[in-house]
Amino acid sequence: MAVDSSPRSAVNCPEPNEKFAKALQFIEEMTKNTDSVQEKVLAEILGQNTETEYLRRFNLNGAMDRDSFKSRIPVVTYEDLQPEIQRIANGDFSPILCSHPISEFLTSSGTSEGERKLMPTISEEMNRRQLLYSLLMPVMNLYVSGLDCGKGLYFLFVKAESKTPGGLVARPVLTSYYRSEQFKTRPYDPYNVYTSPDEAILCVDSFQSMYTQMLCGLLMREEVLRVGAVFASGLLRAIRFLQLNWRQLAHDISTGSLNPRITDSCIQEKMATILNEPNPNLAEFIARECEDEIWESIIPRIWPNTKYLDVIVTGAMAQYIPLLDFYSGGLPQACTMYASSECYFGLNLKPMTKPSQVSYTIMPNMGYFEFIPHGLSAPVKLSRDSPPRLVDLADLEVGKEYELVVTTYSGLSRYRVGDILRVTGFHNSAPQFKFIRRKNVLLSIDSDKTDESELQKAVEHASAMLSEFRTSVVEYTSYADTKTIPGHYVIYWELLVKDPANAPTDDVLAKCCLTMEETMNSVYRQCRVADNSVGPLEIRIVKKGTFEELMDYAISRGASINQYKAPRCVSFTPIVELLNARVLSKHFSPSAPKWTPERRI
């Protein structure tokens, strides 16, 4: 296999083309001059935004240096900026946060008050994002040869957009990118040829989009050199889709005709040029591979030339590594970049390293980055009146953990992203980071992120339905069950039933599941309803005394009896096994919760 864990030597590989050489040189230049690039980026941002209402409020008075910035501008969260963001959303186009016009809002998978966060962006940011994308292949080419001699099977999707009251579009950053002219009119690049036609990627109907992308992937199976999706959960969803739909897909291939459920005219037109003759041999092959229901190594069996999976398996996605190993027969899993709606941060300079050892290098040209030391016995004071002096990108220490704070060209100043990163080393003078976790996220299956207070609220709402049965929830915990695809939330409840003759029925407990889902944030409900990337929520009722056993177990492992609190989420296998061994009954949400793309403003 042409995959190597060390860079290809000059002896056995041809010189990368000039474009690649330039990209690699750019990475070197940026990372060798981390601090000066950061200084320049901050000066550019402050110079651009000096006349904004926000910077004027803190009396920056045109200063563009780090000292003035750090001593006057507060470190903020989304909630702090919400009044300004709401004004922009409502149509106030004066320079509030940024002097350039806000072109759209990017909807983050993080939420505030149950709705997606709205990140303002400006049109030139698209070029910055594009620049980061353009660095990925030159780096990959150092490790994997011949990627210009085939195609990538990537499952890429757009999501529904909405408009703010002031008329700005609000949509996820990737939807914005796939709909952009930069993407739609991209020049031919042999290293970035996808099996999926743009018409399929750009179709909002997730079934039609996935079906067409899978069909094209099957038709071009021998040309496929890499298989991917943005996140691991997306690739697993595609495998599940194949499990459920291979018969129809094989039928289309054997007859050369398109499934009538594909009604999107742009897709139909495009597919007429791709699926234009019957191929019974291929259809037979697919049926043979799929009908045995032996799904181990299905990826290399169907796509035999796959060199690696291109998919993020760091952070919350690490839970999917074993399943991806199973379906891919242990193909390398390349995590190429680290990005967010607020800002694209950086890339993995050794994309073939094992997922547990992945480190991302933040590119100093993407924004101005500061870091709050994390886990200190005396945490940094984040007072607005006397802003803290945070650590700069070039001054971080290996082995320490930090929370990422970003200042962007789009007008976020000293904004807490919420990610905790550990410095693992340096590339030149640029630190490299292991992604540790996102703060306050308890449960996550796909792009949903549920925190402790959201879970608490959902349990409160649902358990209110039990009062007429003189029943209450005495303890609860949760578990992200990703053994099935799609994964789903499992909530363990220990009940106090005062009147066993009138205990809550199965029907009531199923309604409790649905009530919990209705209470969850909009990203969760979108995953459930529009994307089908999260399955129905499950409540498991456990025997009386289970949570006491859980406490005994924790104490036997050294927890302090005085400080013990039942964990609100569990993942440690012995604990999950203990809970599962005490389950009395299981209940599932009987239908999907309500969700529409419109925000509740």
- Closer of 160 and 566 to ligand AMP (Cβ): 160
Nearer to ligand AMP, 72 or 159 (CB): 159
User: Is residue 581 within 8 Å of residue 504, measured between CB atoms?
Assistant: no
Compute φ and ψ for 317, nearest 5 degrees: -80, -10
Name residue 498's amino acid: K
Pairing of strands 333-334, 430-438: unpaired
For residues 489 and 587, what is the distance between their CA atoms, to the nearest angstrom? 12
- Residues present in the chain in total: 601
Smallest distance from ligand AMP to CB 257, Å: 38
Contact indicator for 335, 361 with CB cutoff of 8 Å? no
CA dist list (Å): 129 to 85, 342, 360, 427: 22, 11, 16, 21
Question: What is the nearest approach in angstroms of ligand AMP to the Cβ of residue 213?
Answer: 21
d(CA 596, CA 36): 46
CB contact at 8 A, 225 and 141: no
Nearer to ligand AMP, 95 or 110 (CB): 110
| Residue 315 vs 504, nearer CB to ligand AMP | 315
SS3 376: coil
Q: How far is the CB of 493 from ligand AMP (least distance, A)?
A: 29
Q: How far is the CB of 127 from ligand AMP (least distance, A)?
A: 18
Report the residue number, 100 or 416, with the smaller CB distance to ligand AMP: 416
Can you give 540-593 as a three-state secondary structure string? Answer: EEECCCHHHHHHHHHHHCCCCCCCCCCCCCCCCHHHHHHHHHCEEEEEECCCCC
Give CA–CA dist 68/417, Å, rounded: 22
Residue 107: half-sphere exposure toward Cβ, Cα within 13 Å: 26
User: Considering the complex, what minimum distance in angstroms separates the CB of residue 216 from ligand AMP?
Assistant: 26
**Cβ closer to ligand AMP: 42 or 417?**
417
C-alpha distances out from residue 79 to 51, 55, 111, 254, 408, Å: 23, 18, 10, 55, 17
- Cβ 336 to ligand AMP, closest distance in Å? 8
Applying CB under 6 A, the residues found at the interface with ligand AMP are 108-110, 173, 312, 314-315, 335, 338-341, 417, 419, 435, 438, 447
- Taking the least distance from each CB to ligand AMP, the nearer of 315 and 411 is 315
Least distance from ligand AMP to the Cβ atom of residue 117, Å: 7
The answer to whether the CB of 540 falls within 8 A of the CB of 492 is yes
Query: Cα(78)–Cα(118) distance, rounded to whole angstroms?
Result: 9
- Give the nearest distance from C-beta 403 to ligand AMP in angstroms: 11
Cβ proximity to ligand AMP, 98 vs 312, nearer residue: 312
**Closest separation between CB of residue 543 and ligand AMP, Å?**
37
- Which residue lies nearer to ligand AMP by CB, 419 or 454? 419
Amino acid at 168: L
Please state the closest distance from residue 14 (CB atom) to ligand AMP, in A. 30
How many CB atoms within 10 Å of residue 264? Answer: 18
The nearest distance, CB 582 to ligand AMP, in angstroms, is: 33
Closer to ligand AMP at the Cβ: 371 or 476?
371
* Residues 6 or more apart in contact with residue 490 via CB below 8 angstroms: 478, 479, 480, 481, 537, 538, 539, 540
Q: Quick one: 125 or 494, whose CB is closer to ligand AMP?
A: 125
Strand partners of residue 153 = 227
